[in-house]
Chain A
Amino acid sequence: MSRKHVIHQYNMFEGQTINMSGNLTSNISNVEQLDKCSIHLTWTAGPVGEFIIEARNGGNPAPNTALPKSKYNDSWYVLPTSSLGTITGTDSELLILLNELPFTDVRIRYVASSGAAADLKALLTAKVVGA
């Protein structure tokens, strides 16, 4: 019997205090059982900086205590995307499409250049294709 994994909606910065004048690191999202996902980032316009998508092939602590511990703690690496996730003071949203997920975990880092406190959300939705 086939199974289909889906994530309807998850805010990768859930539970964090957001201040885009400084650097931010999102929560870790485990994507082992998934094929594709998209991340829609929205914020209050003004900050200038860069969003970086990072992944790892297993590591500790696991994003979820229900997930098995990894034997080795892989370091985070930057995904080579079609373009950089730089934002200007007039931008207020960014869409990230991950059409393949050949890694276990993914997260988003924000490197600030200038800005102020802003309401930032990174809504992830994902699914298994063809399950």
Chain B
Amino acid sequence: MKTIVFPATPIDTTGLATEAKQDVQITEAQTANAELQFINVELDAQTNLLNNVNTYLNNIQTELTDVNTELNNITDNTTKLNVREVSPFIDASVTNIPASSSAPLQIIASTAHNTFKIVSVEDIGEFIGVYTGAVSSEVLVGVLPLGGGELEIRINPNTRISLRNMKNAAINSGNIVLNLLG
């Protein structure tokens, strides 16, 4: 049976989870949720910025590596040249320098350093070509001055060097030695 009472007994809502308080809590929770979503968006933006910065730093590192390589090349190119290697002394009467129709004579199997200049010392006085490359694949890279002299040339390390007369006649007299400067 439904019962109604006078006076209506007031309820002390102090500390109780009333509907009004729950509504307030719901509103505050919704506000906090919206702020957290905003913070999440900001964090995503910061992450993207950091990723971009990381990419830029990687690019800078690559560029610096290239700069370092170039600086090393500059160092090599600007250092005062010194004799780095000397070829064996060739006595043409013992070891002929081949004619142009023959295979070149190997004098250095594999260079140890970068070469920027060859200074030849010889008393042959013929047109002698300098070749680089493996057997049967020799390539003419320069011709020594008559009677000796300087030939500015770039030869990488681990290169095979050979000699051959530019004329089709074997050289069988005189002596020659090569100074490789780097």
A contacts, CB < 8 Å to B: 53, 79-85, 87, 91, 93-100
What is the minimal beta-carbon distance from A2 to any residue of chain B, in angstroms? 26
B contacts, CB < 8 Å to A: 1-9
Q: Are A94 and B2 in contact (CB under 8 A)?
A: yes
Nearest-CB residue, chain B, relative to A96: B4
Q: Are B8 and A81 in contact (CB under 8 A)?
A: yes
Q: Are A82 and B2 in contact (CB under 8 A)?
A: no
Q: Are B7 and A100 in contact (CB under 8 A)?
A: yes
Q: Are A82 and B8 in contact (CB under 8 A)?
A: yes
Q: Are A82 and B1 in contact (CB under 8 A)?
A: no
Q: Which B residues touch A83, using CB under 8 A?
A: 2, 4, 8
Nearest-CB residue, chain B, relative to A42: B1
23 pairs across A/B with beta carbons < 8 Å?
A: A80-B7, A81-B4, A81-B5, A81-B8, A82-B6, A82-B8, A82-B9, A83-B4, A83-B8, A85-B2, A87-B2, A93-B2, A94-B2, A94-B3, A94-B4, A95-B2, A96-B3, A96-B4, A97-B3, A97-B4, A97-B6, A99-B5, A99-B6
Q: Which B residues touch A87, using CB under 8 A?
A: 2
Nearest-CB residue, chain B, relative to A79: B6
Q: Which 6 A-B pairs have the closest CB atoms?
A: A82-B8, A81-B4, A82-B5, A95-B3, A97-B5, A81-B6
